[in-house]
Copies of this chain bind each other. A is one copy, B any other.
Amino acid sequence: MRSFALAAGMACAALCSTTALAAGTPFPQPLAEEALPSVAKLPAQWPASWVMLHDFRFMSIVDGRIAVVDTADPVKPLKGLIRASQFANMLSSRERGEIYTAETFYPRLTRGERTDAITIWDMATLEPKGEIVLPGGKRQQSVTYPHLFQFTNGGQWALIANFTPAQSVTVVDLVNRKVLNEIDLPGCAQIYPTGERGFTSLCADGSLFSVTLDANGAAASSKSVAKVQDIDKQALFGTPAMVGKTAWFVSFHGMIQGIDLSGTVAKPLPGMFSVGTAEGGQPEWRPGGWQVINADAAGKLYVLMSPYGKEGSHKDGGSEVWVVDPVKKVRTMRIALQGQTVAIGLTREDKPMLIAARADAVVDVYDATTGTFVRTLGATAAANPILVQNP
């Protein structure tokens, strides 16, 4: 900083004048000297129109990142980037003003001894303020799912999925920045925070499995609930829409299943129902994309739908969003999208916006209440936006 100030000072002492007047200008004073160095800060509380786009950056897998995006600002939508290297996961805490990335590093980029770590980033500066190294080099690497890295214990702790391919969950104390425990969980995947201090995973036989944690992050009790899904015929996408403590899952065929996670044991809600059908399917309308279901603050569900639904189409993206009222179990609206969309999110604004991240990296904004297309942000934030998360 000092050396810059010196250089700039020297430059102007020798070379500049702040009073020189160009001939014939209508502006008697020149533009003012601008202060350097200067680094932008973000508001400590991000506006409700801001989202985080996970940029998977598949063409350079080591260089993933999270784009902080103001969906209300088409002129300057990108507010900053946060490193998210190699199949990273992320979390954010508005209360603490912190973002957490779970990443993997090698000292020679692609070689050497592996280090997995959680980095704690300040939401106002996007600077790292701490790190928690995860032992064992076992953090699960997948195309990014939100439910591989989740809060529990009122947001004080994080749960991280491991896959070696042995499956387990690491419990981390984010506040005291230390690893608490590891819970082996063979046969079960994904982490859905459950009750005050615990989580639920989905298991390969179609059951779910809920675990409560003690004060040390060890398992205190557990309970299996059988036959929650039929993975062969009616598999649920792993990423649900969260409405309060209820996780709304959608199946490959468009059936919606709620799971109440408010107690110590997850409770499937009775009455699975369909997002509905429509003409024009080739062969039929089904959910398709990477993040295919999301919810607004009022609890309405939004499902990304493709008319080209068939076995194997479930990651192909969609061209419409179907809005569903899970209380009345009816579809309330169909929203036609501007392009093949991969992930959808809803902003926290009073009048929520539907954010559509497209396969061509364009991000579009729709009025979630009316379905009207509001604006496009263009491909201005990420190379491969695959998740739209609220901070």
Contacts and interface: CB of A to CB of B under 8 A. Distances in A.
Interface of A: 57, 59-60, 62-63, 83, 85, 103, 105, 107-111, 115, 117, 119, 128, 131, 383
A360 B83 CA distance: 28
A107 B109 contact: no
Given A57-B60, A60-B57, A109 B85 contact: yes
11 contacts: A57-B60, A59-B383, A60-B62, A62-B109, A63-B109, A83-B108, A83-B109, A83-B111, A85-B109, A105-B107, A105-B109
Contact of A128 (B62, B85, B111, B119): B111
Nearest to A115: B107
A41 B60 CA distance: 24
A70 B321 CA distance: 47
A282 B388 CA distance: 47
A28 B55 CA distance: 50
Contacts of A59: 59-60, 383
B107 A107 contact: yes
A117 B107 CA distance: 11
A170 B234 CA distance: 64
Contacts of A119: 108
Given A59-B383, A62-B62, 20 more contacts: A57-B60, A59-B59, A59-B60, A60-B60, A60-B62, A60-B63, A62-B63, A62-B109, A63-B109, A83-B108, A83-B109, A83-B110, A83-B111, A85-B109, A105-B107, A105-B108, A107-B107, A108-B117, A108-B131, A111-B128
A379 to B, nearest CB: 12
Contacts of A111: 83, 128
Contacts of A63: 60, 62-63, 109
A128 B117 CA distance: 26
Instruction: Sort A-B residue pairs by CB-CB distance and give the 7 closest, nearest first.
Output: A60-B60, A60-B63, A85-B109, A63-B63, A107-B107, A62-B63, A83-B110
Contacts of A109: 62-63, 83, 85, 103, 105, 109
Contacts of A131: 108
Nearest to A111: B128
A81 B98 CA distance: 38
A249 to B, nearest CB: 32
A377 to B, nearest CB: 18
A213 to B, nearest CB: 29
A131 B85 CA distance: 24
Nearest to A61: B63
Nearest to A108: B105
